[in-house]
Amino acid sequence: MSLAGVSCLVTGAGGFLGQRIVRLLLEEEEALAEIRLLDKAFSNEVLGRFEKFKGQTEVKILEGDIRDVTFLRRACQGISLVIHTASLIDTLGLIENKLLWEVNVTGTQLLLEACVCCNVQHFIYTSTIEVTGPNCKGDPIFNGDEDTAYESTSKFPYAQSKRQAEDYVLKADGQVLKDGGMLMTCALRSMYIFGEGCPFLQGHLDKCLLNKNVYLRFSRKEALVNPVYVGNIAWAHVQAAKALRAPQKAKHIRGKFYYISDDTPHMSYADLNYELTKDLGFGIEPQLPMPLTVLYYFALLLEIVSFLLRPFVRYIPSTNRHLVTLLNTPFTFSYRKAQQDFGYMPRYSWEEAKQGTGEWIASVIPQRRLYLQSSTA
């Protein structure tokens, strides 16, 4: 099924993943009628990238708040497909829980309500592997799938907000629209996303440059995960959108979630950073700065200090128990179900992903060095 003539709204369109989804939609052989790009704000650099791929599709820029009901209804008017990537991501507790919930959960609810009011038929939600785990006990999963039983005990606010939002999206499937039609939804649970423009990769690069071109080892080698390249998770959204528009495929994927990975070799998060840049002459520390159990209780100590200081000053530790567990638990998932139900296959190979990401990192190194020198002077 083609997306020709479709009017699509992409939320979080200025973000790392949102930009790549928009780019793929604009590169479709048969042009969409319109793509509306929604985000809090867009930089001139981001807008310039969209202009480069514009083609025949009409592109509208919508800057506003995902919590604004009037704004959302205006954004959804005349739209048939919504790809909802907008989300606040927080692994350290930097964002107040109230704001995290308002944007990730309430914002998703309001967007679903706007879809019903404006007769939007298809809705794809960008979820995350963190709604599954790892749990606080660090129970591993090797090559899991959508039917893998797992006791998810994470109480970390970000994971909870994404799980609740995903739940609302999947339960909204089949809801009757204002014109008597029906809303069809699905959710894509992405692995950790890497690629050109990844803000997390840039953060690790900065620490590496400050550490004499040696990456800090924050996850043990045995903690295998399967990150996904940004181009492939973006492609999965496009494939899911086409499937929702095809009646025979739609009946298989409606109201369901899918794990989206690709053929990136299984490795730890720290080793991914190294693999992407070792050809540039970077190294990596051989082991964790302290034994894993000690590291866990060190993180607990930092959390206690943060709690005790809360009445006087807002201190956010550089790590926490959730992050230590997340980074050091083997946790891998297959994309077999997505392949079976809606034909997802990675569009980019590991070598292509590695090359593109490595070239991007090489291009930003000079400016990151200058920035770090000026900030530490």
Residue type (1 letter), 79: I
* CA gap 307, 290 in Å, rounded: 24
Q: CB atoms < 10 A from the CB of 46, how many?
A: 20
In this structure, are residues 34 and 77 in contact, taking their beta carbons and an 8 Å threshold? no
In this structure, are residues 330 and 141 in contact, taking their beta carbons and an 8 Å threshold? yes
* CA gap 36, 296 in Å, rounded: 44
The single residue of 125, 158, 229, 258 carrying the catalytic annotation is 158
* CA gap 193, 226 in Å, rounded: 10
Residues 6 or more apart from 367 whose CB is under 8 A from it?
none
Tell me the Ramachandran region of residue 124: left when phi exceeds 0, alpha when psi lies from -120 to 50, beta otherwise: beta
Cα radius of gyration (the chain): 21
With vertex at residue 123, the alpha carbon angle to CA 121 and CA 125, rounded to the nearest 5 degrees, is: 175
Q: CB atoms < 10 A from the CB of 222, how many?
A: 11
Mark whether 158 is an active-site residue.
Answer: yes
* CA gap 360, 364 in Å, rounded: 6
Tokens representing 306 are 């943060």
Beta bridge partners of 39: 63
In this structure, are residues 342 and 239 in contact, taking their beta carbons and an 8 Å threshold? yes
**Residues noted as catalytic:** 158
